[in-house]
Amino acid sequence: MATYQEFIQQNEDRDGVRFSWNLWPSSRLEATRLVVPVSCLFTPLKERPDLPPVQYEPVLCSRANCKAVLNPLCQVDYRAKIWACNFCFQRNPFPPSYAGISDVNQPAELMPQFSTIEYIVQRGPPNPLIFLYVVDTCLEEEDLQALKESLQMSLSLLPPNALVGLITFGRMVQVHELSCEGIAKSYVFRGTKELSSKQIQEMLGLTNPAASGPQGRPAAPQDPAVTCRFLQPVHKVDMNLTDLLGELQRDPWPVPQGKRPLRSTGIALSIAVGLLEGTFPNTGARVMMFMGGPPTQGPGMVVGDELKTPIRSWHDITKDNARHLKKATKYYDALANRAAVNGHSIDIYACALDQTGLLEMKCLSNLTGGHIAMGDSFNTSLFKQTFQRVFSKDHNGEFRMAFGGTLEVKASRELKVSGAIGPCVSLNAKGPCISENEVGVGGTTQWKICSLSPSTTLALYFEVVNQHNAPIPQGGRGAVQFVTQYQHSNTQRRIRVTTVARNWADAQSQIQHIESSFDQEASAVIMARLGVFRAESEEGPDVLRWLDRQLIRLCQKFGQFNKDDPTSFKLSESLSLYPQFMFHLRRSPFLQVFNNSPDECSYYRHHFVRQDLTQSLIMIQPILYSYSHVCFLLKMLTNSFFQLTIAQWRKAGYQEQPEYENFKHLLVAPVDDAQEILQTRFPMPRYIDTEHGGSQARFLLSKVNPSQTHNNLYSWGQETGAPILTDDVSLQVFMDHLKKLAVSSAT
């Protein structure tokens, strides 16, 4: 229905929020019967070029366990200068600076169009941003050269006052001193010996032994900004660092025949995390790790150095034959948590022809909001441009990256917070709003997102706690407030507050209205994230069964049908796309590990649980655009997020004939659309230009609906077309099964 679609879109544009239901069932029992929970996708830093930040502190509710921010839903008594919190109903006086407000002179935060508002708050001196490069030197010469050039180039792209550092590793790990003059020095660590954070700081001379007093107090760290020789302002050390990078050599340790290079990735990362922990805790920092192969030595090793032992596959994992998997995962998990606690994010740029250990290391980025980029070589446009885009700027010329984010969610008392799924860690903040049923990262109403971009999106799950048959809450509306504190790339501290409300509805009398408020796109992504989250800890087939079960229940609840008559089954418009999203999700690489390596799965899932709604949907169900006038020419652009495929079915030579001149532009039209996507998407997708019968056409064929396969080629009587070699069922068959199950009185 047009009105709900508009409502949904307007809310997303303004607040960055998409709820599964836009009318909320007023009791817990009814909410569970709706199958899809009351939940939302939330983009904390959604790009709002029209939203000017205000330069004052937000006004907070004075109740100790509330502290909600003043917002347009609050009732205000302008005469008495008092406002009522819409969450806890506490009456609060306005601060003295608000003495002049009135009905016709409202502060911005009370105006409905500022349901999302951003405050600039400056507490203490601004902290510089930090970029710590951790570079693998066990690369082929060509790759190392390309990587060095990219790193040199990046020095010109960094924010001007940023601090920068360099750690290189191979068999040993070297921490480079970035002094401005004299001979370059570095501290070398063995790649096998695990050290504590304190030991690392001592060995780097970051603690001052003379500072311990007569009582034997522990050594105090020196002032980091003054004495950290390893993290220096880029505008001071850019020339030296450029030379240093230019002189980097391949790891000198020879690699015997039949062996892999010894790569001490685990120790390198532990030193990076320890260095930052000791010098700049609680400041925005990015560890950017560049690796050309798997860790083969020391803690965190993923595979041994014998080439004849391949890196673990899914087969190895299911047969419990992956020797290093548990230990390595645990090791990196611990590092990731330490980094997250300090607000530091870790990026992984992995370029190699074989797997590099993303399965074990993914938590480093997933828990901290860092990026993962996966490519074949550092000497490719895919890596170079993806890396450049880390430093992309918005229309205001400001960097898109933000640091040190914390998100707090408050809700009306009829709602509790079950949890979040996305690139975050729990802050373990206890409060009255927490549901006992944990979903995703639960047991808290606050999460930390160490690194954010304008597209970073969390899925948040709620529980309706009102008792069945309890009256609709006074005012008829429930509200949720999202408070995101973060460090802007210009080092300002900011607070963005989004407050939204939806009407309660009695599910028994208003089920059709609730149904029409269903946002099938958001719900598909929300359920998909749940599925992916479960797939990380459960068996694959169990997740699929769970997904199918939810879909059948949803269809039983909302389908219109006569019992046991599948042909009568129909879904209303607000639900009609949902089944096909589930169809595509089931066969997507997010839930199907067949045909993708463990690293590839980790990579796809990493991107899936952080992207905004539009991109997430593209990942589930790639969009196929076809451009054609008549059937002489059919060109398709498949946008599947990680790849763009342009495929042509072209009757030979038609576009060259003068009477078909106007078809020529059809050749370039999808290319234009592709260009727009290629110029902005992060990470850079692969670009496949193929044609009918071309080998690369398999990427298109693997995504399309297999309505005609080798199984049914002769049994359908459809027009002949190219069959797709697969055992997957077609959408049609899937729907038939679904309808049968939904209408059956036995299910």
- Minimum Å gap between C-beta 341 and other proteins is 33
The residues facing 416 across adjacent strands are 463
Determine, following the binding rule CB under 8 A, whether residue 670 of this chain makes contact with other proteins.
Answer: yes
Q: How far is the CB of 380 from other proteins (least distance, A)?
A: 4
Site residues for other proteins, 64-93, by CB under 8 A, read none
Using the rule CB under 8 A, give the single segment among 59-67, 281-289, 436-444, 664-672 that binds other proteins.
664-672
Among 664, 713, 716, 747, binds other proteins (CB under 8 A): 664
Interacting stretch for other proteins, rule CB under 8 A, among 106-114, 129-137, 156-164, 501-509? 156-164
Shortest reach from residue 665's CB to other proteins, in Å: 3
Q: How far apart are CA 560 and CA 571, in angstroms?
A: 6
Site string for other proteins, 612-631 (x = CB under 8 A): --x--xx--x-xxxxxx-xx
SS3 for 17? Answer: strand
Residue 546 CB, shortest distance to other proteins, in Å, is 22
Could you give the dihedral angle defined by the CA atoms of residues 108, 114, 116 and 121, in that order, rounded to the nearest 10 degrees? -10
Nearest approach, Cβ of 619 to other proteins (angstroms)? 12
SS3 18: strand
Interaction between residue 672 and other proteins (CB under 8 A): yes
Q: Which residue lies nearer to other proteins by CB, 82 or 623?
A: 623
Helix (H), strand (E) at residue 568: strand 565-570
Site string for other proteins, 718-737 (x = CB under 8 A): -xxxxxx------xx--xx-
Q: Where are the alpha helices (DSSP H) in 286-427?
A: 314-318, 325-341, 358-366, 381-389
Task: Find the binding residues for other proteins in span 248-307 (CB under 8 A).
Answer: none
| DSSP calls for 430-457 | --TTB-SS--SB-S-SEEEEEEE-TT--
Q: Which residue stretch of 23-31, 409-417, 462-470, 638-646 sits at the interface with other proteins (rule: CB under 8 A)?
A: 638-646
CB of 395 to other proteins, least distance (A): 4
Shortest approach of other proteins to residue 521 CB, angstroms?
9
Per CB under 8 A, contacts with other proteins among 371-390 are 375-377, 379-385, 388-389
CB–CB of 207/220 below 8 Å? yes
Cβ(646)–Cβ(655) below 8 Å: no
Cβ closer to other proteins: 474 or 745?
745
Dig out the tokens for 146 from the structure: 């390309």
Q: Which stretch binds other proteins (CB under 8 A): 28-36, 80-88, 417-425, 634-642?
A: 634-642
Q: Spell out the residues 6+ positions from residue 78 whose beta carbon is closer than 8 angstroms to its own.
A: 101, 102, 103
Which range of residues in 36-44, 263-271, 340-348, 673-681 is near other proteins by CB under 8 A? 673-681
CB of 384 to other proteins, least distance (A): 7
Interactions with other proteins, residue window 571-600 (CB under 8 A):
571-573, 576-577, 579-580
562 contributes a contact to other proteins by CB under 8 A:
yes
In the complex, the smallest distance separating the C-beta of residue 158 from other proteins, rounded to whole angstroms, is 11
Q: Please report how close the Cβ of residue 680 comes to other proteins at its closest, in angstroms.
A: 5
Which residue in 111, 470, 669, 725 binds other proteins (CB under 8 A)?
669
* 21 vs 110: CA distance, rounded Å: 25
Identified binder of other proteins from the candidate list 68, 85, 110, 155, rule CB under 8 A: 155
Strand, helix or coil for residue 176: strand
User: How many residues sit close enough to other proteins to count as binding (CB under 8 A)?
Assistant: 106
Query: 446-452 and 425-426 as β-strands: parallel, antiparallel, unpaired?
Result: antiparallel
Q: Is 688 in the site for other proteins (CB under 8 A)?
A: yes
Query: Is residue 470 close enough to count as binding other proteins by CB under 8 A?
Result: no
In the window 391-420, what residues touch other proteins (CB under 8 A)? 392-395
- With respect to other proteins, which residue has the nearer C-beta, 156 or 208? 156
Minimum distance between the CB of residue 689 and other proteins, rounded to whole angstroms? 8
Question: What is the DSSP annotation of 456-516?
Answer: --EEEEEEE-PPTTPPPPTTSEEEEEEEEEEE-TTS-EEEEEEEEEEEEE-TTT-HHHHHH
Nearer to other proteins by Cβ, of 380 and 556: the residue is 380
Residue type, 215: Q
Alpha helices in 496-612 (DSSP H): 511-516, 520-535, 540-558, 578-586, 598-608
Q: How far is CA 684 from the centre of its chain?
A: 15
The tally of CA atoms less than 13 A away on the side-chain side of residue 723 is: 15
CA distances from 105 to 79, 109, 111, 499, 691 (A): 12, 12, 10, 21, 63
545 binds other proteins (CB under 8 A): no
Q: What amino acid occupies position 653?
A: G
SS3 137: coil
